[in-house]
Amino acid sequence: MDDFYYEGGALRCEGVALDEIARAAGTPTYVYSHAAIQRAYTELDEAFSGLDHLVCYAVKANGNLAVLRALASLGAGADIVSGGELYRAMRAGFDPKKVVFAGVGKTEAELMAGLGERILLFNVESAPELERLERLAARFGKRARVSLRVNPDVDAGSHDHITTGRERDKFGIPIEQALALADRAKQYRCVDIIGVHQHIGSQITKLQPFRDSVERSAGLVEELKTRGFDIQYFNIGGGLGIRYKDEETPTPKELVEAIRPTLEAAGTKILCEMGRFISGAAGVLLTGVVYRKKSGEKDFIVADAGMNDLLRPSLYDAHHEIRAVEQNGSVTGADLVGPVCESGDYLARDRELPDAQEGDLLAVMDAGAYGFSMASNYNSRPRPAEVMVSGERWSVVREREHYADLVKGELVPAFL
Ligand code: LLP
């Protein structure tokens, strides 16, 4: 079931016409479907049924408090990668006992914040990080629960920028070094190595990389257990892809069935930390057409949303479907570009697009993950509003920024 659909030629999100939201909230605006978030989370959660498990949501994909609250209420855990994400997760009401903290560069302040909240697990990515965690935990009289994030050296086959589990990537500890590190940690008094974590990349559309990496990491779970470590958690990471265009992606059920025997044999609680799968298809970016212009052979649709609002097309050449909010049936070969002063500022390039005219509305589909969370103020553009729809109701869940927000915290020194 699609939560974004046409009725009488008008694009809707659940029970609300997107045109109504655009008129009231303006554009550009992100619109999220509560039902779609719930459905994706539930599909994942049910795929793991029969296994002791916890689905964590990768906050980086979309950290809006309303999105987080919706997931926390469903019982989800949170996967965080910074002190800021910990702050968001706590504000949204996640149980700290369901929070896992990854990241190669956690600072002392961030480690301390995690210790302070008594989070479920630190996914430790290096020997110096483990040493620092021990020192801080000892100083503050805390215990740190630790998963070792291993780098299984498997190529997830996605875009180079978002592939994380190859030896040359900066993430995790090579499996061969993990055993030695765990052994060394035996002398630490305040850290308990109780888990193994991996995350090999994002927008993964094949099962084989999951199979291979889970198998390798499970080998480490077994080896650590043999050496007397009480391994209680195996975190298989996130990364399950979604269909942006015509990708054939495995379902959560297919993913879990492909690795179930390995997960069962591990004999631990299974964690996963999906972001895109949960929020990606649950959001669109509404944008208005400012101008149409022609330049030689090129036909441009100039929108009021640009790369600062949705960076994925510019950064990864990512494909997002473009739909007319009011269908008029005609299409045109054009580029959908934004107002930002860069030639790389586009939302769709050399594509068959709705023949939208000045004043028309377009929806950039599947923008619920890594959309607003990667938005910036480049070109001094206020970041867009965010809206959540639930059935017939909708609500602004983040106000559009004002010009005053652009200069917040800036100071002109006295010597000027
Ligand atoms: N866990 C860790 C440790 C991660 O680094 C990530 C994503 C996830 C989980 C969630 O991955 P997901 O299930 O969402 O694929 N900006 C890029 C995606 C970057 C992903 C970074 N890490 C994009 O727009 O495609």
Q: What is the pLDDT of residue 169?
A: 73
Q: Distance (Å, rounded) from C-alpha 173 to C-alpha 298?
A: 49
Q: How many domains does the chain have?
A: 2
The number of the ligand 1 atom at minimal distance from the alpha carbon of 123 is 3
* Average pLDDT of the residues of the chain: 96
More confident residue, 160 or 107: 107
The number of the ligand 1 atom at minimal distance from the alpha carbon of 61 is 14
Label residues 83-103 b or e (16+ Cβ within 10 Å = b).
bebbebbbebebebebbbbbb
Within 6 Å (CB) of ligand 1, which residues are found?
A: 58, 60-61, 79, 102, 162, 199, 202-203, 237-240, 273-277, 312, 316, 369-370, 374
SS (H, E, C) 175-192: HHHHHHHHHHHCCCCCEE
323 C-alpha vs ligand 1 centroid, how far in Å?
A: 26
Q: What is the pLDDT of residue 1?
A: 60
The mean pLDDT value for 177-181 works out to 94
- pLDDT tier at 328, thresholds 50, 70, 90: confident
In the structure encoding, which two tokens stand for residue 15, read together? 């029970």
Give the range of the structural domain holding residue 125, as residue numbers without chain letter. 95-274
To the nearest 10 degrees (0 to 180), the angle between helices 83-92 and 65-73 is 60
42 phi and psi angles, rounded to 5 deg? -65, -40
Question: 207 and 222: one domain?
Answer: yes
Asked whether the predicted pLDDT for residue 145 surpasses 90, the reply is yes
Q: What is the pLDDT of residue 156?
A: 82
pLDDT, tens only, 38-84: 999 999 999 999 999 999 999 999 999 999 999 999 999 999 999 99
240 C-alpha vs ligand 1 centroid, how far in Å?
A: 9
The number of the ligand 1 atom at minimal distance from the alpha carbon of 159 is 25
Question: CB 413: neighbour CB atoms within 10 A?
Answer: 5
The number of the ligand 1 atom at minimal distance from the alpha carbon of 312 is 24
Place of tokens 């070969």: 333
Asked whether the predicted pLDDT for residue 160 surpasses 90, the reply is no
Is 193 contained in some domain?
Answer: yes
Question: 101 and 27: one domain?
Answer: no
Question: Of the residues 60, 81, 158, which should be mutated to test ligand 1's pocket, given the most ligand atoms within 8 Å of the CB?
Answer: 60
Q: Distance (Å, rounded) from C-alpha 97 to C-alpha 233?
A: 13
- pLDDT tier at 371, thresholds 50, 70, 90: very high
Q: Distance (Å, rounded) from C-alpha 238 to C-alpha 164?
A: 11
Q: What is the pLDDT of residue 37?
A: 98
H or E element, residue 254: helix 252-266
Q: What is the pLDDT of residue 165?
A: 67
The mean pLDDT value for 151-167 works out to 77
Rg of the chain over all Cα atoms, to the nearest angstrom? 23
9 C-alpha vs ligand 1 centroid, how far in Å?
A: 35
Question: 27 and 111: one domain?
Answer: no
Place of tokens 């927008």: 203
Question: 269 and 284: one domain?
Answer: no
The mean pLDDT value for 173-191 works out to 94
Asked whether the predicted pLDDT for residue 162 surpasses 70, the reply is no
Residue 204 near residue 280 (C-beta atoms within 8 A): no
Question: CB 57: neighbour CB atoms within 10 A?
Answer: 34
Among residues 246, 274, 302, which one ends one of the domains? 274
Question: 350 and 205: one domain?
Answer: no
238 C-alpha vs ligand 1 centroid, how far in Å?
A: 7
Residues labelled catalytic: 341
Q: Residue 298 contacts by C-beta under 8 Å, 6 or more apart in sequence?
A: 334, 335
Q: What is the CATH number for 251? A: 3.20.20.10
80 C-alpha vs ligand 1 centroid, how far in Å?
A: 11
Asked whether the predicted pLDDT for residue 287 surpasses 70, the reply is yes
The mean pLDDT value for 245-251 works out to 97
The mean pLDDT value for 296-320 works out to 97
Lowest mean pLDDT, pick from 145-159, 178-192, 203-217, 257-271:
145-159
H or E element, residue 139: helix 127-139
Question: Of the residues 202, 242, 373, which should be mutated to test ligand 1's pocket, given the most ligand atoms within 8 Å of the CB?
Answer: 202
Is 413 contained in some domain?
Answer: no
Lowest mean pLDDT, pick from 97-106, 129-138, 166-175, 218-227:
166-175
pLDDT, tens only, 187-211: 999 999 999 999 999 999 999 999 9
Cα angle, residue 103 at apex, residues 254 and 225 outer, rounded to 5°:
65
Among residues 274, 289, 320, which one ends one of the domains? 274
